[in-house]
Amino acid sequence: IQLTQSPSSLSASVGDRVTITCRASQGISSYLAWYQQKPGKAPKLLIYAASTLQSGVPSRFSGSGSGTDFTVTISSLQPEDFATYYCQQLNSYPLTFGQGTKVEIK
């Protein structure tokens, strides 16, 4: 199953609302997770089951979607949110990740 994220990168300002899209090549129900990765660090789980916020993750992050189309939204971008974001499908093996979306400071 291929996952295509868009955009591949974006520039935004603190306080902006940011939305990243992940499209699956076939239906994956809600078996999708979102991760945040900062340079030199391991990925951090943000959202699982497409829309469930991982414990400890700020409520400005939200996820939605099912089937083939998914989004993660940051309602008000904070300085610590500048990072690369990956979606992952866990519907079937081999598990796959999207190519990543880099969120940069405008």
Smallest distance, Å, CB 6 to another protein? 14
Taking the least distance from each CB to another protein, the nearer of 43 and 82 is 43
Taking the least distance from each CB to another protein, the nearer of 95 and 105 is 95
Smallest distance, Å, CB 19 to another protein? 20
Smallest distance, Å, CB 37 to another protein? 8
Q: Let me know if 33 is exposed, middle or buried by CB neighbors in 10 A (0-12, 13-18, 19+).
A: buried
Smallest distance, Å, CB 98 to another protein? 8
- Do 73 and 61 touch, CB atoms closer than 8 A? yes
**Residue 66, helix vs strand vs coil:** strand
Contact residues: another protein, CB under 8 A: 30-33, 35, 37, 41-45, 48-49, 52, 54, 86, 88, 90, 93-100
Report which secondary-structure segment, H or E, holds 52.
strand 52-53
Taking the least distance from each CB to another protein, the nearer of 69 and 76 is 69
- Do 31 and 90 touch, CB atoms closer than 8 A? yes
One-letter identity of residue 16: D
